[in-house]
Structure 1
Amino acid sequence: MSLNLMDIPQAKPLHPNLSVPRDGWGRPLVVPQGGGKPKGHTRTTTFIDCIEDKSSLVDWLCRNVLIGASKRADLLEKARELDPDDPADKKKLNELAEQAKDAAGANEKSRKGTYLHDLSEYVDRGEPLPKTISGQDLDDMAAYMMETSALKVVAVEQFVIVPELSVGGTFDRLSYYEGPGPDGKPISGNFITDTKTGSIKYGKLKMASQLAVYSRGKLYDHTRFPVDPSDKRGFAAWKKTEFTAEQAAEAYSPLPPVNQDWGIIVHLPQGEGVCKLYWADLKIGWALAQLALTIRQARSTKSALRPFVSHATTEGLDSSARV
């Protein structure tokens, strides 16, 4: 599964993926390529989220809150004392809703998905799996290893920036593949590869857009600008620091040549012992990323509505002015 980087044409070692500093909204704080103060960049998944129809997700969350509340009567008692219009109480209600979702088991799939992602890293780094994993997890990893055997891992969990979108995120894998392509014709090269452990019935466009954005990213090594976010005073000073363009340039480096037309989705549904690969059309994905940029820019428009002033209102204003 693992591959010596020297075996891949034009590939080179990539920066380790360490924790990138975040702002109060959870956005990665990145020194712009041209220099300046660290700037919050939108997470890739958040950026493209506006292209998705989330009605099914919202309905699912509502159902789980209701189910969780039926199992946790104490949450209902606490909610009765709170005012949904009060800013402080809104936060408390959100926390109670999250606890209700957890009681319904809504977060269990997410935790399990993260765990499977962690196990797949063991596989792709060529390390032994933990001895404590279950037989079900072994079946999932066996399926993963079999299905991805045609992919040779070049890099794992790398953080990239797309300056033109002010977006940052971490892709799962950069993989080398040589064989039949999406149209059956031979294809070879490096491909952005992303593992999904949940259902892929919905969100196909978002997946394609996510991989398309990653494929156009630049590697960003935040360790060039060391800071300890737990040191509040030091972190506040760091966020106000003006870094030079020369300093910023040292943190950026290009990805190895990567296919920007196609990416690969690895679907590893939890506990089923099966794994399937899918081609993701990054041409469609990149067009959607541009659409997402247009939508997000439009949301900042503040003049879509204006006060209605009629002729009678104007006359009234004139009369009162005369009085």
Structure 2
Amino acid sequence: MTADPFSTVSSELPRDRWGRPLITPPEGGDPIAYQRVTTFVSALEDTYHLNLWSQRMVVLGMADRRDLQLAALAIADPDDRNAKKTLNDIARQAKDAAAGSAKATIGTALHSYSERIDRGQDLGNVPAEYLPDLEAYRKITTGLESVGIEGFCVRDDLRVGGSYDRIYRFTAEFLDAYAAYYGHRLHYPGRDGLGRLVAGAGPEVQPGDAIIGDVKTGNIDLGMGKICMQLGTYANSLDYDHTIGTRTALVGNPSKDWGVIVHLPAGSGAARLVWADLASGWAVASTLARGVHEWRKRKDLAHDFASLTVTRAPEASLVDLIKAAPSYDALLSLYTQNSTSWTPGLTALASARKKELSAA
């Protein structure tokens, strides 16, 4: 019996070998690779402190791993292509040995657990040390309705796509609880005359307002610019259904001005909600980040206007030098200069030349 070709639909977004999402163009046709939003906005990311942290992890890992020290010392030529790959692998292992990847792994797990909370699913077995984190997430998001969870969206003019963590909708329950706890209604930030944020100076948040949300378990202070660009791009994108290649407005019509970060530092048992300036992030992503990528693609920045090639006459081989030696002393000099590579064959040639010189 022939299998029904319509019985199953793949839930996996197709990607190319570099992990880029393959997106059907708005006008139809074969899927093309879009850049990931995180990669797109990373063009403007300040990685100075991240690189320093990475170097520190490698140092700590190498100090604790004698096997990696030995492997590094065994590299004869660090500029050799294969040696570079080996050194890169040693550095990665050293970083992992210093728990360089542990926080990222824990963060990914907490993301998954927070998603289960928002879907109303059972958490299953959770290590005791992370239960306070998840309880903090549950409490601080009570009344924030998750109308979109891990949705994929695209921005076609930039040819980028990515997954947002959440689209939250404010409910009256959340806003009333906020007012009762803090003694005032929740307002969006405002801006002063220079465009800088002023806490609580904007319009009051209303029940039903939707907003892009992002769950962060690490330090957010140094990466806020990238976060705002990323969320701003999501807010100005369209939901994409890869199974039929269609686009629709983001669920809930979230704000293009503001997003919210649920900051949940792993292992702290603490949580906070942070406004993110998406309007500023999108303004930068859609102009400066786009400009950087367009600049990097330029192939017309240099042109030859004159050229020539000068070839050097080939150097005489040792065999030729022996055959043309003008004297016995010249033969001795050739032997002295090349004694470490001298062979019996060269001795035979030198002997023949010596006879020729003697007969002359």
Aligned match for 2:247, one of 248, 252, 258: 252
Aligned match for 1:27, one of 20, 28, 31: 20
Cα offsets for 1:42-67 (capped at 9, x unmatched): 11111101112101111111111111
Aligned match for 2:58, one of 45, 56, 65: 65
- Structure-2 separation of matches of 1:19 and 1:82: 45
What does 1:75-86 correspond to in 2, within 5 Å?
75-79=68-72, 80-81=74-75, 83-86=77-80
What is aligned with 2:187? 181
2:219 paired with 1:199? yes
Cα offsets for 1:266-299 (capped at 9, x unmatched): 1000111100001111110101112101111111
Going from structure 1 to structure 2, the CA distance change for 1:134 and 1:217 (only over 3 Å counts) comes to same
Aligned match for 2:264, one of 268, 272, 283: 268
Asked if 1 retains the 8 angstrom alpha-carbon contact of 2:10 and 2:243, the reply is no
Going from structure 1 to structure 2, the CA distance change for 1:305 and 1:75 (only over 3 Å counts) comes to farther
Q: RMSD across aligned C-alpha pairs, in angstroms? A: 2.4
Amino acid of the structure 2 residue aligned with 1:186:
E
Structure number with the bigger relative contact order (C-alpha 8 A, sep ≥ 6) is: 1
Question: Gapped runs of 5+ residues in structure 1?
Answer: 1-15, 225-247, 318-323
2:20 paired with 1:49? no
What does 1:204-215 correspond to in 2, within 5 Å?
204-215=224-235
Going from structure 1 to structure 2, the CA distance change for 1:19 and 1:93 (only over 3 Å counts) comes to farther
How many residues align? The count is 272
- Structure-1 separation of matches of 2:94 and 2:142: 41
Aligned identity (percent) is: 40
Going from structure 1 to structure 2, the CA distance change for 1:27 and 1:87 (only over 3 Å counts) comes to farther
Q: CA deviation at 1:31?
A: 1.6
Q: CA deviation at 1:149?
A: 1.3
Asked if 2 retains the 8 angstrom alpha-carbon contact of 1:82 and 1:93, the reply is no
- Structure-2 separation of matches of 1:271 and 1:104: 18
Q: TM-score if structure 2 supplies the norm length? A: 0.70
What is aligned with 2:335? none
Q: CA deviation at 1:112?
A: 0.4
Amino acid of the structure 2 residue aligned with 1:181:
H
2:167 paired with 1:171? no
2:89 paired with 1:95? yes
What is aligned with 1:298? 295
Amino acid of the structure 2 residue aligned with 1:19:
E
Q: CA deviation at 1:136?
A: 2.2
Asked if 2 retains the 8 angstrom alpha-carbon contact of 1:64 and 1:106, the reply is yes
Question: Gapped runs of 5+ residues in structure 2?
Answer: 1-8, 176-185, 190-199, 311-360
Going from structure 1 to structure 2, the CA distance change for 1:143 and 1:82 (only over 3 Å counts) comes to farther
Q: TM-score if structure 1 supplies the norm length? A: 0.78
Greater Cα offset, 184-193 or 103-112: 184-193
- Structure-2 separation of matches of 1:58 and 1:301: 27
What is aligned with 2:329? none
What is aligned with 1:238? none
Q: CA deviation at 1:90?
A: 3.0
Aligned match for 2:136, one of 129, 132, 143: 143
Asked if 1 retains the 8 angstrom alpha-carbon contact of 2:75 and 2:83, the reply is no
2:239 paired with 1:219? yes
Q: CA deviation at 1:17?
A: 10
Amino acid of the structure 1 residue aligned with 2:94:
A
- Structure-2 separation of matches of 1:222 and 1:85: 44
